[in-house]
Amino acid sequence: MEARARALQALIRLRKTEVDQAKAALARMLAEEHAALGRLETRRAAIETERRETLVGQVSSDDFRLWLPAGREAVESAATMLHAARCASDQAREALMQANAALKAAEAILDKRLEEEKEMRTRREQAEIDDLSRRGRVAAG
């Protein structure tokens, strides 16, 4: 194998490492997104729990009214964090797609290069066979 093909194989190993890193980053971002969604749901549930407790008289309506802005702020904060986590997941997904595309491109170039090398060897072998055949006819003739 020639130097160019070896260089392409090194590039493919690098691209595979990049794909692995992009997969790991996406997994982390999806875990963060899942956690952010959980926090948002927990904070929304807290408002509903407080509302139900107020309706059944376990919490005074004045206490609920005083607490509600903080509860809503917690929900808004969690929603903001979820949005940021989703954006990060989208970016990580895009990075993975780009890494996969770069890997596939490098593999395609190597495959083409190896095919060209194979064709060149086949042509050389055929030329040698033809040359030996001509020599054999000249020597016999």
Please tell me the predicted confidence (pLDDT) of residue 31: 98
For 77-136, the pLDDT digits (tens) are 999 999 999 999 999 999 999 999 999 999 999 999 999 989 999 999 999 998 888 887
Which are the contacts of 8, defined by CB distance < 8 A and separation ≥ 6?
106, 109, 110, 113
Which are the contacts of 17, defined by CB distance < 8 A and separation ≥ 6?
none
- C-beta of residue 99 within 8 angstroms of C-beta of residue 19: yes
Give the residue extent of every domain in the chain.
Answer: 3-112
Helix (H) or strand (E) holding 99: helix 61-140
Please tell me the predicted confidence (pLDDT) of residue 54: 93
Amino acid type, 26? L
Please tell me the predicted confidence (pLDDT) of residue 128: 92
Please tell me the predicted confidence (pLDDT) of residue 59: 86
Instruction: Give the predicted TM-score (pTM) of the model.
Output: 0.77
Please tell me the predicted confidence (pLDDT) of residue 18: 98
For 53-74, the pLDDT digits (tens) are 999 988 899 999 999 999 999 9
Which residue do the tokens 């376990």 mark? 58
Angle, CA 22 vertex, CA 7 and CA 99 arms, to 5°: 45
Q: Would you say residue 141 has pLDDT above 80?
A: no
Fold for the domain defined by 3-112 = Helix Hairpins (1.10.287)
Residue 90, Cα to own-chain centre: how many angstroms? 10
For 41-57, the pLDDT digits (tens) are 999 999 999 999 999 98
